Amino acid sequence: MSFINYSSREINCKIVYYGPGLCGKTTNLQYIYNKTNPDLKGKMISLATETERTLFFDFLPLALGEIRGFKTRFHLYTVPGQVFYDASRKLILKGVDGVVFVADSQIERMEANIESIENLRANLQEQGFDLDKIPYVVQYNKRDLPNAAPLDEMKRLLNPSNVPDFEACAHEGKGVFETLKATAKGVLTDLKSLGGR
Amino acid sequence: MAEPQLVLYEEEHGHIQVVIDKLALEASAKAVFLVDKNGQLVAETGELRGIDTTSLASLTAGNIAATGGLAKIIGEEEFPTHFHQGDRDNLHITLIARRIILVIVFENDKSSLGLVRLRVKKASSELAHIFEEMQKKAEAAAASGADSPFAEITDDDIDNLFSD
């Protein structure tokens, strides 16, 4: 859950990027890191294997500016996408304020996308969250690939509840900030509706 | 929702700061940090130059989460104390009131594990008490429907954050 510090006048929120292995979660964070003003970002941490697959998580702290005299800070995390790292994924979802689901548009990855969303829903439920109630955004990544599935089909399969969604090519940055902004906005709107509690 | 939001008011922050300043002094520690289990830095004291406190907080929480997971696998509820020994600096990590992590950085030639453990024991119970009070205060505020600055955030406020 978000952390409100009246002493330093800061709001801290946690956004988790979820999705199947190699869908581009880390690439999203790397692009955000590379394109953000150094004053607004902290160090990016990647706990990865020697082959650069996420082992535990990536972490990127970002400052967005002030709202009503409170500095808003977002902590962005990715989960390891590979199926057998499920125990780690559960841990990273603890205290989440908003979720981005990064889908791999390649047609042969559709089953992995569906499986990952089901896994997200189950793991959130285990932590006491409901995917239909928390701020949630879907990103259709790798739209530039020739084997990308039709967008309508992806929306039908992966976003039946019609949450905010974006097409993306994370390695060149397309859709990356749009996704982040929509998620951050969802988190702050949620904070507002909760009255800061 | 899974657990109540953590709200830190100035009054409690002051109390916490007194306890950790005293702990740092009495344990001859290089630095003391308090971190929320979700990876948010709550308070800090000591020699902080060159230490990336945001990363420290996030990794500490990850560490506690991972070892907590390990504990459950072998039938333990949690491993509440961790000690990481380095050539020069060491880390002593304690879980307080199941929610807050107390991190102490100490040097081999200025302090010892025994001294740190002794001082942590007393400070832990003081900190646990403060966090219990904080929790009660947050619950009371929630129950009374007290005003929060965030209840008045407008859509424009949010849009302005992304104006550039």
Minimum Cα–Cα distance from A15: chain B residue: B38
pLDDT in tens, A142-188: 999 999 999 999 999 999 999 999 999 999 999 999 999 999 999 99
Q: Is there a domain that residue B86 lies in?
A: yes
Question: What CA–CA distance (Å, rounded) separates A143 from A103?
Answer: 10
Burial class (CB in 10 A: 0-12, 13-18, 19+), B71: middle
The residue behind tokens 């047609």 is A107
Q: Is there a domain that residue B5 lies in?
A: no
**What's the ipTM?**
0.82
Which domains are present in chain A? 3-193 (3.40.50.300)
Q: Is there a domain that residue B67 lies in?
A: yes
Q: Is there a domain that residue B4 lies in?
A: no
Using alpha carbons, select from B46, B50, B32, B52 the residue that is nearest to residue B101: B32
* pLDDT, position B4: 66
User: Is A57 within 8 Å of chain B by CB?
Assistant: yes
- Pairwise CB contact (< 8 Å): A68 & B150: yes
pLDDT in tens, A27-51: 999 999 999 999 999 999 999 998 8
- Which of A67, A91, A197 lies nearest to residue B66, judging by beta carbons? A91
Using alpha carbons, select from B122, B93, B98, B92 the residue that is nearest to residue B26: B122
Cβ neighbors of A197 (< 8 A, separation 6 or more) are B4, B5, B7, B138, B141, B142, B148
DSSP secondary structure letters along B19-80: HHHHHHHHTT-SEEEEEETTS-EEEEEE--TT--HHHHHHHHHHHHHHHHHHHHHTT-S---
Reading phi first (left if > 0) and then psi (alpha if -120 to 50, else beta), residue A33 is in: alpha
Question: What CA–CA distance (Å, rounded) separates A131 from A124?
Answer: 7
pLDDT in tens, A103-136: 999 999 999 999 999 999 999 999 999 999 999 9
Q: Is there a domain that residue B81 lies in?
A: yes
User: Is B10 within 8 Å of chain A by CB?
Assistant: yes
Q: Is there a domain that residue B3 lies in?
A: no
Beta strands B81-84; B89-96: pairing state: antiparallel
User: Is B15 within 8 Å of chain A by CB?
Assistant: no
Q: For residue B87, what is the domain's CATH number?
A: 3.30.450.30
Q: Is there a domain that residue B1 lies in?
A: no
Distance from CA of B115 to the nearest CA of A (A): 30
User: Tokens in use for A168?
Assistant: 């993306």
- Domain holding B17, by residue range, is 10-161
Q: In the predicted model, what is the mean pLDDT of residues B35-45?
A: 92
The residue behind tokens 């499986």 is A115
Number of domains in chain B: 1
- Which of B5, B138, B153 lies nearest to residue A2, judging by beta carbons? B5
Q: In the predicted model, what is the mean pLDDT of residues A12-31?
A: 97
Q: Is there a domain that residue B17 lies in?
A: yes
Q: Is residue B31 within 8 Å of residue B44, measured between CB atoms?
A: yes
